[in-house]
Structure 1
């Protein structure tokens, strides 16, 4: 009887271990291929995102389609190893992006940007016009104050394969900004 009870406990323990290992493997697969979480540091996406916002980013849709204009994306920083940036897609392959007199022009028309502060002036650095090549996107931070955002004005168009996910939901803080992005 005692031997049987020990075997039952061992069997139950093995079932628990198998269940935990299975859950961890599934969680790692989901995090690797389906979605991830992102913690916002800095103010480059203000007023859309605030420092310490927490977001879910969708990875799986990138396997089937390219990002669209207006998507908020997480990308590998092209200028700093092991760092990610969060930016908004402004131009996609084939687009011409130009910044003049503080306004962003997309394919010759002023881009309506209801996500930036109304009186924002978009500065340029040493270049003011970009042709977005195939397999690339042009990104900007929503905060257009001088020095607030390192983006395509600074490092040029970024390869689509450097995009780690599309931010689509703010899950923290639990305030009036909680919910779907874009």
Structure 2
């Protein structure tokens, strides 16, 4: 008990307390930045009207550590060529995706939330049914005619490991700063 009362060691206690506070603040800041504040610039117009070219979005990297990606989530994924893309999840693992007559079908049923998005003029490899394996997702851009996505063989089905997180906030441009909802 004399250690805590002794005036000669009071500076040591204050220094240790100060160092612990600094370490805790740095750890919390790292957790917040890593988990919720990864910045990704949107390239191209494939996500219009929700996101425009050169918008900068924040990605929640922890969302899929605690849960699963869901249909209509807007996600950031890393392509085989190491580029980061922003697209919307349409098909989930185990489902069959096909584009017929400009409409998207999941397991043979029309995807009913497509009414507010334009029709798909180019089905690409989805003109025949695509069976998604375990851990695979089918992603599309909202601007279907200007999107390089899962319809094309250079992107293909996106594996869960490629998905880096869920887009949750548009940071730039400042005049359009807003939360991004899945639907």
Q: Output the TM-score relative to the length of structure 2.
A: 0.75
SS at match of 1:74: strand
Q: Report how many residues are paired.
A: 163
How is 1:156-171 mapped onto 2 (pairs within 5 angstroms)? Answer: 156-171=156-171
Residues 99/174 of structure 1: CA separation in 2 closer, same or farther (3 Å cut): same
Gaps of 5+ in 2: 1-14
Higher helix proportion (structure 1 or 2): 2
Gaps of 5+ in 1: 1-11
1:75-107 deviation line (CA, Å, top 9, x unaligned): 0013x23x1011000011111110011111112
Per-residue deviation, 1:122: 3.5
Give yes or no for contact 1:168–1:181 (8 Å, CA) kept in 2. yes
1:118-157 deviation line (CA, Å, top 9, x unaligned): xx33412244221111111110111111xx2111111321
| Aligned alpha-carbon RMSD (Å) | 2.6
Residue in 2 that maps onto 1:91 = 91
Determine if the alignment matches structure 1 residue 150 to structure 2 residue 151.
no
How many Å separate the matches in 1 of 2:31 and 2:163?
Answer: 18
How many Å separate the matches in 1 of 2:24 and 2:161?
Answer: 30
Determine if the alignment matches structure 1 residue 113 to structure 2 residue 111.
no
Residues 33/170 of structure 1: CA separation in 2 closer, same or farther (3 Å cut): closer
Q: Output the TM-score relative to the length of structure 1.
A: 0.76
